Structure formats: structure tokens, C-alpha cells
Structure 1
Amino acid sequence: MTRLRTPLAVGAALALLLAGCGGSDEPGAGGGSTPTGSRGSAVSPERCAQNEAAGKVTYVTGYQYQSSVGILEPIAAQALGYFDAVCLDVEIQPGTGETAQNAQLVAAGTAQISSIAGNSDVLVNVSNGVDVQAVATFGHVPVATLMTRPDVTDLKQLEGTTLGQKGALPVTIEAMLRAAGVDVSKITQVVVGYDPTVLVRGQVQSLTGYKSNEPLTLEAKGEQVTLWNPEDYGVPGSIATTIVNPGFLAEHRSAVEDFLRAQLKAYAYCEEHAAECVADAAALSQAGYDTDHNVQVWQTESKLVDDSLPAGQVLGQVDVASLQTEGDFLVRMGQIPSVPDLGELVVPDLVTSLHADGQLVWPVP
């Protein structure tokens, strides 16, 4: 468990060392990004023509223009001109947070690429007959957390109390409670909105949320809470999986490769220039976008991603062993009947093919 008693130290992690090309990577003046390079500056004329042949590439975010991993980097790649540098015409559309909807849009070809919450969401959707493939996974740790007041020192204390959730108890939270010896049937579950102060007001005694969202909101209000994290109880999870339409990948692999290449380059840029990248997201959003909170969202999630990167792997690489572990976990929890054929579901070599000696290749040879 993690106690929040002082402001989170969520400074951005060290940026990846990427080879630059096609102009300066200095932040734009006045907030927001200044495009770098020119059309096709990072690819050969032949590869440029290949990517242009893919036509418009529609990318659906996981949830609106929130500055989460898997959302902020494509927005930044667009603003910085990285997509233009590899001759991609990318349209970014805001998702609703419904992972099944994103998967269905990609399977239908309405969108070609999308971010989805994590590997478990891919496994569940594919088990339900949705035809998508996973080409990248950014974080290898659950992003869900369970919040309580500091007086809760053992999860078994939650028996006989009320737990607030957003419509369903996250499977990782349920598994954590079971692992801690909690009789979940003795907890009253109620559906609450997205105002985490229901916890500190005593309307619920525990509250599900995301490490990068509700705890930050409560901390900004000066509230003290304890975070109970599934990974501390051996529960697997992941953050920000990228899915693609299988037919589009088969026909336009170079476009998918260079989309991810630009996204990964933007990830490193945003670790150094978080406020600038968040300004790009704010420019796409409606009024009321909380830029300070979204900078914290990005810094928290990117740190989770960086800290959970398996040894010897590159950022974004799909770890098939971890995916199998998540699949086996979902079977044990009764979420899916069996683990789908990972040979059909995963394209494990796509991200690694974008690197040489562990470094992202930019420009494209």
C-alpha cells in the first residue's frame, strides 16, 4: 500500500535517447508545439509513397484528450510534425472511455488504430469475437488502485463497509481483495460518479480509481488517503495497449510502423516537455481542460510506464509472456473462458523492428 501524505514526487522520468532528425526538438514558444521538419523529411521517397497510399489513418484515443500515455504522444506527434515527417495523414478522434467501443471501431475499419486501456481489455474483446491485433504495450503494471482513509490499515477492515466503483469492480481490485483474504460478498458496492471526495466525506469507505487521476485530485485538496495497489498483491496488469485493424496492418504495415515510430519519438519529447505537450492536448479539448492536473496525469503514468519496463525490452514492446500471464489471470477470475491464440492476437516484433541497439531509429533508413 502507498500512503499519500505529502505531494507526489512525479517529476518526469529521463527521456529516451532518440536520434533526432528533420529539425530542432526545442519546445514551441508560447505554449503548444512548433512543428519540426518538413513533409517526408524522415523517410525515403519510396516509403513516403507507401505511407501516403494508406490514406487517412484514423486514431481513436482511449478517453477524450486526457494526457494519459497512449493519448498524449500521438497528439504531440501530430503537433510536432512527426506524422508529417513520415508522410502519414493522421486524424485523431476522442474516445469515450468505452474500450469495447474502441475495439469495435477498429475491427470494423472505421478507425485503423486505437489506444485501449491495457492488455486485459484486448483479451476480453478478442474473446468476445472482436477482430483486432495488439502491436504495442506501454506499461506493465495495473493502473487501477483502491483508495481508503489512512485509518484503514488492513483490507479486511473493509468487510461490512461500502465501496464506491464506476459501474463494475475492476477485476484487478477484486483479485487484490481476494488475495488479502477479504470476503468481497461482505462489502456493499455502490456506483458513484467521478467526484473522489465521496471518500473523504465518508459516503463510502473505499473507492476505486486510477493512480493517475483521483489520488491527484484528492491530494490537490489537501486530503490524506492510502492507495492499495494490485501489483503489491501479485496481480498482473498493463497500461496503454495499441490495437490495429488486422487487414490494414497486412496491407499497410509501413504506415503502422511509422505511426508507432512517431508516437515513440513524441513520448520521449513529452517526458522532457510535459507542459508543452499538454498544451497541445488542451488545444483540442473543450473549455475547462485542467492543464495542471493533466501534466500530473502524464508525469504519473509515464513514470509507471518507465518503472515497469521489463529488463532488456524497449518501450512499447509487447511482452508475450506478460500477456499470457494476464490471460491466465483473466481465466482464473472468470472473465474469459480461455486465453485467445496469442500468435494471432499479437504482433510482437513490430516495435522491436523500429529499434537498433535499443534506440529508436529516426529517420527511417
Structure 2
Amino acid sequence: MQHRLIQTGLATLAATVLTLGMAACSSGSAEGSSAGSAISSERCEENKAAGTISYLSGYQFQSSASILEYIAASKLGYFDDLCLDVELKPGSGDTAQNTKLLASGQATVSAISQQDLIQAQANGIDIEGISSYSNAGLDILMTNPDITELTQLDGQVVGHKGYVPAAVQAMMVDAGVDWDSLTLVKEGYDPSVLPREQDGLAALTGFISNEPNQLKAAGDDVTVWQPVDYGIPSSLGAMAVNPAFAEAHPTAVQDVLRAALHAYDFCSSSDENAKQCVGYAAELSGGATYDTELNTTIWKTETQVAEDNPTPGQPFGGIDPENVSKLVDMLHQFSIVPPEVTAEEAAGWFDDSYIQAIYDGDELIWPAP
């Protein structure tokens, strides 16, 4: 699951955002280019006709993939360049709420993992998947270094944030762990409970870009187990759109993705650019309360995962239909969606035509035609 209330040590960030309310940040051209100067007048008018496009993040304005590049696209003026009026809204980390806001039209585009989109559709929530950066996900399992095989966890205590993510459970089961022998314990968001072996913990679920980085900074050594290494399906940086909006304004959907991917390239091209982009997120989040060092590490970790696990046969952001099929199988395995949901049906809930339209081979077309 994507950005499920990832705790980043920003103890007061949520309070700051609540103080701001759902304050929107309209895109502004920091680079000084005139609005719409990068595209044809015809396309500019089409995009203006889309009106205000509401982007809803997965979790606050954390510097994660699918969040930071949208902030940067706004601050760098890339949305303005394409005649797009985009407002940025911080999500609470409640993915189910995001899917409902998206389906109702209260949000236009939002960071929604492919698994969460399938679950939403299975529950009658109509949203459409439009991109994904990788078949790898953020969910991981951490163990202390004495665990060298997952089967050593048989009969042990495993901590989680409220539930064990399906991808982590699938990894453990496929590796031969006796699932019924485990004692599952809900823990808080302090990862130091693992090296301290609080509650007898032998393992703890987490997010690849968060807890391992916190523990490393604290000098604690843990082993990270990633579902992608076991062939378990997931997604990273996946985006979804309100279907009615997409049908009415296809060029706007294309160009929102185009601007975000252009910003992704900028923010990930150097340490200096990454720092600049994280600075934009810090400014949007209230400044002093934002842990820029940790958030820079989050961005670098997630973009590295995407680079290390490219989506096969797709340009960056393209949707892998085989991954969607595997996700349906995994969700069936753990009875998360009913058997009536087929891979063929789920494939219809994703549309990669928007991504395909903005690439020439593997090269992002910038600006728009």
C-alpha cells in the first residue's frame, strides 16, 4: 500500500497542515516563463477548459515519489507552461478516503497504488489508474541481523502498523514461513522497537524509504526483506484519475503526467536539484517543522527503487498489465477481493494511453506538441 501514514519524524507536520486546512497551492512559474508558452494555442485552450485540477497527495507533502515531483512541477512552473491550473492538496495517509474523494470528483488526480485501486473498484468506487513507476513497492519486512532466512521466523513475534501488508504476507508465505505459527502484534511508529526486541519482536513491517533510514541514522543494523526480490507484485508512484474528468479532458491528463515526469527528471538528476525540490515541499509544509534531511533520503531511496526495478517493456510511468494480473491473483490468495474480480476486468480499470501519448519511445516529449 502506498504512503499509508508513513511516519517521517515530522511530529508537528500533521498539525501544521491542519492549521493550513486544505490550503491549495496553485501552480506558479518560478522559472519566469509565461503561462502556456511551451505549447500550441489550441492545446493551451483545451487544457484551460479543464478548469482547476485538484491533486491530492498520498501522505501530506512528504518527499515521496508521486508527491515531490508534483510539488516541483508546480513550483518550477511546468504546469503553467502547459496551461494547467493545478492546486495541491495534502492527503492524510488514508488511501480509502483518497479513493472516495477521487471517485466523487472532489479530487482530480491522486497517488493510489495499483492494489488499492483494484480494491476500490471491487468495492464499487470508480477510479482509473493512469501510471506507475515500478512493480516494486514500499512495503517491506525488517528483521534483526541474526535472521538469515525467513523461515527462522516460524513461531516468532512479528510487529505491524495495524495489519501485515499483502505483499509482505505473500513474500513470507511463498518463502515457506508457517503463517499460523506467528504472533502478530500491533506496534506504533517507532522502529527502534525492533533492535530493542520490544515485545519479543523478531520482525517488523515498514516502508523501504522510511524506517530503515531512521534506524541506519540511529546506528541500528537491521536486515531489509523486499517482496519484489521474491517476485511479489506491487507498485510505486502509481497515480489514478477521476474517470469522468479523464474522458472529458484527455490532453489535460496527459499534460499533468508530462509536467510531473519532467519535474521528476529534474528532482532526481542531481543532489542539488533534489535538495531544491525538497525545499519546495518544506516551504509548502510550514518550513521549520519539516525534516529536510530525512525527506531528501526518502526521495533518493524511492527513486532508486524505481530505477533498480524498471517496469518491463514500458517507458517510465507505463503500466504493466502482467503486474495487474499478478496483483489480482495475490488479492484472491488472501481473500482481499472476491473471486468474481478477474484479471481481465481489472485490466479495464487502468489506461496507459495517457503515458504512451507523452513519450517518443523511452523519451519524454517536452514540451507538449
Q: Which residue of 1 aligns with 2:19?
A: none
Q: Which residue of 2 aligns with 1:240?
A: 237
Which amino acid in the other structure matches residue 327 of structure 2? E
Once the two structures are superposed, residues 31-53 of structure 1 have per-residue CA deviations (whole angstroms, 9 ceiling, x without a partner) of: xx943522001111111111111
Match of 1:57 among 53, 57, 61: 53
Once the two structures are superposed, residues 313-332 of structure 1 have per-residue CA deviations (whole angstroms, 9 ceiling, x without a partner) of: 21101111221121122112
- Please tell me whether residue 267 in structure 1 is matched to residue 264 in structure 2: yes
Q: Which residue of 1 aligns with 2:301?
A: 300
Indicate if the aligned counterparts of 2:65 and 2:237 stay in contact, CA closer than 8 A.
yes
What's the secondary structure of 1:345's corresponding residue?
Answer: coil
Measure the CA separation in 2 of the matches of 1:234 and 1:318: 17
Alignment of 1:141-180 (within 5 A): 141-180=136-175
1:232 positional shift = 2.3
Q: Which residue of 2 aligns with 1:29?
A: none
Measure the CA separation in 2 of the matches of 1:138 and 1:311: 11
Measure the CA separation in 2 of the matches of 1:242 and 1:319: 13
Farther off after superposition, 223-232 or 302-311: 302-311
Q: Which residue of 2 aligns with 1:357?
A: 361
Q: Which residue of 1 aligns with 2:67?
A: 71
Q: Which runs of 5+ in 1 are unaligned?
A: 1-32
Indicate if the aligned counterparts of 2:135 and 2:309 stay in contact, CA closer than 8 A.
yes
Match of 1:339 among 339, 342, 357: 342
What's the secondary structure of 1:200's corresponding residue?
Answer: coil
Q: TM-score, normalised by structure 1?
A: 0.88
Indicate if the aligned counterparts of 1:239 and 1:305 stay in contact, CA closer than 8 A.
yes
Farther off after superposition, 85-94 or 340-349: 340-349
Once the two structures are superposed, residues 76-115 of structure 1 have per-residue CA deviations (whole angstroms, 9 ceiling, x without a partner) of: 0000000011111111111111111111101000001101
What's the secondary structure of 1:235's corresponding residue?
Answer: coil
Indicate if the aligned counterparts of 2:135 and 2:228 stay in contact, CA closer than 8 A.
no
Q: Which is bigger in relative contact order (C-alpha 8 A, separation at least 6)?
A: 1
Measure the CA separation in 2 of the matches of 1:54 and 1:232: 41
- Please tell me whether residue 214 in structure 1 is matched to residue 218 in structure 2: no
Once the two structures are superposed, residues 295-342 of structure 1 have per-residue CA deviations (whole angstroms, 9 ceiling, x without a partner) of: 111111111112211344211011112211211221122211223613
What's the secondary structure of 2:115's corresponding residue?
Answer: helix
1:180 positional shift = 1.8
Measure the CA separation in 2 of the matches of 1:193 and 1:159: 23
- Please tell me whether residue 86 in structure 1 is matched to residue 66 in structure 2: no
1:70 positional shift = 0.3
Q: Which residue of 2 aligns with 1:127?
A: 122
Measure the CA separation in 1 of the matches of 2:38 and 2:76: 13
Measure the CA separation in 2 of the matches of 1:280 and 1:121: 28
Q: Which runs of 5+ in 2 are unaligned?
A: 1-28
What's the secondary structure of 2:129's corresponding residue?
Answer: strand
Cα 1:153–1:343, aligned 2, differ >3 Å: closer, same or farther?
Answer: closer
Measure the CA separation in 1 of the matches of 2:268 and 2:152: 39
Cα 1:357–1:181, aligned 2, differ >3 Å: closer, same or farther?
Answer: closer
Match of 1:35 among 27, 31, 35: 31
Q: Which residue of 2 aligns with 1:18?
A: none
Q: Which residue of 2 aligns with 1:288?
A: 289
Indicate if the aligned counterparts of 1:320 and 1:348 stay in contact, CA closer than 8 A.
no
Which amino acid in the other structure matches residue 133 of structure 1? E
Aligned residue pairs total: 332
Measure the CA separation in 2 of the matches of 1:329 and 1:317: 21
Indicate if the aligned counterparts of 2:58 and 2:93 stay in contact, CA closer than 8 A.
yes
Fraction of identical pairs, as percent: 43
Indicate if the aligned counterparts of 2:129 and 2:238 stay in contact, CA closer than 8 A.
yes
1:343 positional shift = 4.8
Q: Which residue of 2 aligns with 1:276?
A: 276
Indicate if the aligned counterparts of 2:130 and 2:352 stay in contact, CA closer than 8 A.
yes
Indicate if the aligned counterparts of 1:40 and 1:84 stay in contact, CA closer than 8 A.
yes
Once the two structures are superposed, residues 184-221 of structure 1 have per-residue CA deviations (whole angstroms, 9 ceiling, x without a partner) of: 22211111111100111111221100111000000001
What's the secondary structure of 1:134's corresponding residue?
Answer: strand
Q: Which residue of 2 aligns with 1:24?
A: none
Q: TM-score, normalised by structure 2?
A: 0.87
Cα 1:336–1:74, aligned 2, differ >3 Å: closer, same or farther?
Answer: same
Measure the CA separation in 2 of the matches of 1:348 and 1:34: 30
Measure the CA separation in 2 of the matches of 1:307 and 1:232: 11
